[in-house]
Chains A and B, each alone.
Chain A
C-alpha cells in the first residue's frame, strides 16, 4: 500500500493529508479530516448523501478518488455558513431524520450558484440525484424555490 501526501483545498483551507490512491474523497474527508457532514448511503453513486461541491459543481464524493481532488476547490456542508438555503431548509421543514440533508443542501447550493434562475425542469433534473426517504420532496422544492426566487 502506497501512501501519497497530497494537498487539498477544502472549505477554503489547505489541508495536507496522506492518502492511498484508492481512497475516495468521501472516505478522506470523513476519516482523515473529521468532516462527517457528507454521509455514506450507498458508496455507489446512487443516493447523493455524500454530495459535496467541487469547483462549483455537485459531486458525489463516493465517486471521486481523493487524488482526483488535487488542485480543485472542495466545499462540504461544514463550509457553508448561514447560507439562505440552509435557512430555507429549516423554515420549510425540508428534512426529518436529516441524513440526506447535507447532500441535498450541497446539491441545492450548487444549483443556486450555477443556475440562479433555474426553471422547474432544471431543478428537477438536478435534485433527482439525491434520495430523501423521509420527506415528500415538496418541502425541499419549496425550500430551494424560496431561495431561487429571491435572486
Chain B
C-alpha cells in the first residue's frame, strides 16, 4: 500500500488555514434579500391572530409569509407546515417569514409582527406523551401522507412503533438467574455545528430553482422540493460548498424550503436565510432525547439470555428523521451483545419539543447509555468484572442481530479484540478505583458499542473522473465535505488503485446536483464505504479505457499493460509506455491523426441485499455491516464536592482498515470530545411551557480547550471484505460509548447509580441526597 493508511494532508487544507475556504454564508452578491423568521415563544399554543401591519411599514420589506397553509413537509410523515398554521408545536417554530433588502430591515420588521397566542397544555417528555390522557400534539395524525414503513397511531402521540421480537422470551427468562432492570432519561440537546445553517434560493425566469445550502443532503433537497411543491426535479439545482460541521444536524431539509418559498414570493429574486445561533438551536432540528427502560436476564456465569427493552424517543413536534432514528435504535437495541431472546418496543413520540435530526451515531450513543449502564448494574449484581461481562457476551460471527441478520467474519468487527486492547490502553487491570487521599479518587468506567448504518435500501453513490491535459485527474463525487476529510480519502483510494501520486488528483469540493453524480446523503459514516466503492469502479472504468487506447497505440495486448505513476506501460518493459497526458484526450500521432477521445471515468455503487424490517417481528437486513468498539473513561472525582475532571478517554474501534492514520485518529478523538461534552454538560433545559431556557452558547456549553482529557485511540483491523480496501466507517464511533463509560465511571466513583444525562455535579449530588 502506497497511499492508503498514510496521513495525507487534506485537499482543502490551505484554503482552510488562510480564510479562503468558503461556506454558504460567505457567498455574497447584490442583490441578495434577507429572510428573517418570527418564531414561536411557546412550546404549544394556538395562533389566534397575526398582525403584520406595522412590519409592512419598515422600508425595504418585500414580502411577509404567514397565516397561510403551505404544503406539509416531512420525510417519513408529512406532518410539518414549513410555517406554522393554526398552532405552534414547539418553542422556536417559524410562524412568519419576512423578506427584506437587508438583514437589519428584515429583523426590524420581524420584531414588529404581533402574534397573539392562546396557550395549550404542553407535552414535555416522551413518557408524558405516552400516557393515555396526554394532550395531542397532532390531532389529525391519521390524515397525513406518509411512507409505507412509518406507523403512526392516530389519536395518540405515537409517530411510529418499531417492534423487535426475536427468540422466545419465556425461555430466556427461564434460563436466567439474575435479572436487572433500570430506567434512564435525558432531554434533547443540540449539534452545535459552528457554522449555523444557511440557505439561499433564487428562481430564474426560465424556472430554474437555484439553491445553495449548508447541507449534508443536497440531493435530498432537490428531491423533496420537487415533491413538496410539484416542481420539475431537473430544474432544481442545489449547490453545497464546504460545510462548517454537521454531525447529522444538516441532514434534514428545512431552511432550503423556506428560502425557496421566500424567493417565489418575491418573483424569484435571491433570498438568503441564515440562522442566528438561537434559531439554529431552537428552530432547526436538534439532538434527540430518550426515555428508556432496560431489563436484562443472565445465567450464573454471566451469559445474557434475554433482553426486554422499551425506548421512548423524544422526536419532538415533528417526526421528520426521528422515525428513522427510532428504527435504527430498534435495530441495534441490545448493544453489541449476543442475546438469543429479545423483545423491544421502540417508539417515536411526539412532544412539544424542538424536533429531532439525526445526531452523530444515529440513536446509538443514546441507547448505549441505557444499555451500558444496565450492563454495569448486571456486572455488579453478578459480581463479575464489567469488562469481563462484556467480553463473554460480545457479539461474534455466527450470532444473529436483533433483526435476525446472521453475522459473518466480514460484516461484523472483532469486539473481543477491541475489549482486550482497551483493557491495555486504560490499564484496567490496575483496577477501576485508585484512592489518592480521603477526598479524591481516580475511577475508570468502560463500555462497548456497535452500529450498523440503517440507510435507504436503494441509496446510491456515484463518481466521475475526468483528465486534465497534464495527465492529472479530477474527481467528482456527491459526498459533501463536512469536515470528515472523506473527499481526500476518496482521492487516496483512487491514487492507490491507479498507483499514482495523490497530489495529481484534484478533488472538487463543492457539490452541484446538476453536474455532480449523486451521493445519497453524507451521513452514517457511509461516505468512505459507498463513495470509495464508486471510486474503485470509476478507476476500473478509467483503467479499461486507458489500456484499450494504449494497447492500440503500443500495439500490445491489453493484458500485457500495467498502470502506475500516471503511465500505461508494458509489464515486461516499463520504458515502453504512454503518460496519461498523452492519452487522456486521445492519442495524437505525429501526423496529427488522433484516436480515442477524452477519457471520462464513471463509477457507481449501491448497497446490496438491504431489506425493510418486518412490522411485526423486526426481521430484516437494515444495513451492510456492524462496526464495533470498546471504550474507557478515567476521571478524578472529588468525593466532597461531587465535581470531577476528565483524565483519559479511550476508544478502540474495529475500523476494518485505516485509510488515513491522522485523519482517522482525529475523527475518533473529535467524536469522543463530542460524546463527553454531550454526556457531561449538554442538554436543553425546558420550563413548564416547553421553552428552552438555554438557547445560546453562553448557556449551552460545548466542551472547551483544556476541559478535555487525554485521548487514547486504538484500532483493530478486521477487513470488511466488500469495503474499499476493507474499510469500515469511523466518523461516529468514538462518540457512541462515551456517555456509558462516563456514566459508569461516575456511578462507581459516587457509589450511586446514575440514570440521567448530562452528568453534572448537581445530578450526582441529587442522587446522593436521595440515597441518604
Name A's B-contacting residues (CB within 8 A): 22, 30-31, 34-44, 46-47, 49, 76-78, 80, 86-87, 89-91, 93, 95-102, 105, 124, 127-128, 130-141
* Cβ contact of A42, chosen from B21, B26, B277, cutoff 8 A: B277
The residues of A that contact B710 with a CB separation of less than 8 Å are: 138
CB-based A-B contact count at 8 angstroms:
159
A47-B194, A90-B14 given; A128·B674 CB < 8 A: no
Residues A127 and B662 in contact, CB atoms below 8 Å apart: no
Residues B702 and A42 in contact, CB atoms below 8 Å apart: no
Residues B706 and A37 in contact, CB atoms below 8 Å apart: no
Residue from A40, A89, A96 whose CB has the most chain B CB atoms within 10 Å: A96
A44-B696, A97-B194, A105-B17 given; A133·B705 CB < 8 A: no
**Bound form: Cα–Cα A63–B692 in Å:** 25
Residues A136 and B277 in contact, CB atoms below 8 Å apart: no
**Bound form: Cα–Cα A98–B194 in Å:** 9
* Cβ contact of A128, chosen from B242, B482, B705, cutoff 8 A: B705
A40-B25, A97-B483, A134-B483 given; A35·B702 CB < 8 A: no
**Bound form: Cα–Cα A42–B193 in Å:** 11
Q: Write the chain B residue with the least CB distance to A105.
A: B17
Residues A37 and B19 in contact, CB atoms below 8 Å apart: yes
Q: Write the chain A residue with the least CB distance to B277.
A: A42
The residues of A that contact B484 with a CB separation of less than 8 Å are: 96
The residues of A that contact B124 with a CB separation of less than 8 Å are: none
The residues of B that contact A86 with a CB separation of less than 8 Å are: 17-18
A-B contact list, 5 entries, CB within 8 Å: A39-B23, A41-B277, A96-B666, A97-B482, A99-B194
The residues of A that contact B707 with a CB separation of less than 8 Å are: 128
The residues of A that contact B704 with a CB separation of less than 8 Å are: 128, 131, 137
Residues B17 and A90 in contact, CB atoms below 8 Å apart: yes
Do most interface residues of chain B lie in helix, strand or loop, or is the interface mixed? loop
The residues of A that contact B246 with a CB separation of less than 8 Å are: 97
Residues B245 and A97 in contact, CB atoms below 8 Å apart: yes
* Cβ contact of B193, chosen from A95, A97, A102, A130, cutoff 8 A: A97
Residues A98 and B670 in contact, CB atoms below 8 Å apart: no
* Cβ contact of B705, chosen from A30, A34, A137, cutoff 8 A: A137
* Cβ contact of B663, chosen from A30, A80, A93, cutoff 8 A: A93
* Cβ contact of B18, chosen from A22, A37, A138, A139, cutoff 8 A: A37
Residues A36 and B22 in contact, CB atoms below 8 Å apart: yes
Of the 9-residue stretches B5-13, B255-263, B614-622, which lies at the interface with chain A? Answer: B5-13
Residues B708 and A97 in contact, CB atoms below 8 Å apart: no
Residues A35 and B706 in contact, CB atoms below 8 Å apart: no
**Bound form: Cα–Cα A100–B710 in Å:** 21
**Bound form: Cα–Cα A118–B669 in Å:** 25
CB neighbors of A among B243-273 (8 A): 243-247
A96-B670, A98-B12, A98-B483 given; A141·B705 CB < 8 A: yes
Residues A98 and B244 in contact, CB atoms below 8 Å apart: yes
B553 to chain A, nearest CB (A): 41
The residues of B that contact A98 with a CB separation of less than 8 Å are: 12, 15-17, 21, 242, 244, 483
Q: Does B276 contact A (CB under 8 A)?
A: yes
Q: Does B576 contact A (CB under 8 A)?
A: no
The residues of A that contact B23 with a CB separation of less than 8 Å are: 39, 99
Residues B19 and A42 in contact, CB atoms below 8 Å apart: no
* Cβ contact of A102, chosen from B19, B482, B672, cutoff 8 A: B19
Q: Write the chain B residue with the least CB distance to A77.
A: B19
Residues B483 and A131 in contact, CB atoms below 8 Å apart: no
A37-B20, A135-B669 given; A96·B193 CB < 8 A: no
The residues of B that contact A97 with a CB separation of less than 8 Å are: 193-195, 242-246, 482-483
A44-B697, A93-B662, A98-B242 given; A133·B18 CB < 8 A: no
Residues B193 and A133 in contact, CB atoms below 8 Å apart: yes
Beyond known contacts A42-B697, A98-B244: 4 more, CB 8 A cutoff = A47-B277, A93-B662, A128-B706, A133-B247
**Bound form: Cα–Cα A136–B484 in Å:** 13
**Bound form: Cα–Cα A31–B15 in Å:** 20
Q: Write the chain B residue with the least CB distance to A97.
A: B483
Residues A96 and B485 in contact, CB atoms below 8 Å apart: yes
Task: Give per-residue flags for B673-694: 1 if the beta carbon is below 8 A from chain A beta carbons, else 0.
Answer: 1100000000000000000000
B649 to chain A, nearest CB (A): 9
Residues A38 and B19 in contact, CB atoms below 8 Å apart: yes
The residues of A that contact B666 with a CB separation of less than 8 Å are: 93, 96, 135-136, 139
Q: Write the chain B residue with the least CB distance to A34.
A: B28
A31-B28, A93-B662, A139-B666 given; A132·B672 CB < 8 A: no
**Bound form: Cα–Cα A112–B208 in Å:** 50
A96 to chain B, nearest CB (A): 4
**Bound form: Cα–Cα A124–B195 in Å:** 24
Q: Does B711 contact A (CB under 8 A)?
A: yes
The residues of B that contact A102 with a CB separation of less than 8 Å are: 19
Q: Does B192 contact A (CB under 8 A)?
A: yes
B244 to chain A, nearest CB (A): 3
B219 to chain A, nearest CB (A): 20
B215 to chain A, nearest CB (A): 13
A25 to chain B, nearest CB (A): 15
* Cβ contact of A89, chosen from B17, B28, B663, B711, cutoff 8 A: B17
Residues B705 and A49 in contact, CB atoms below 8 Å apart: no
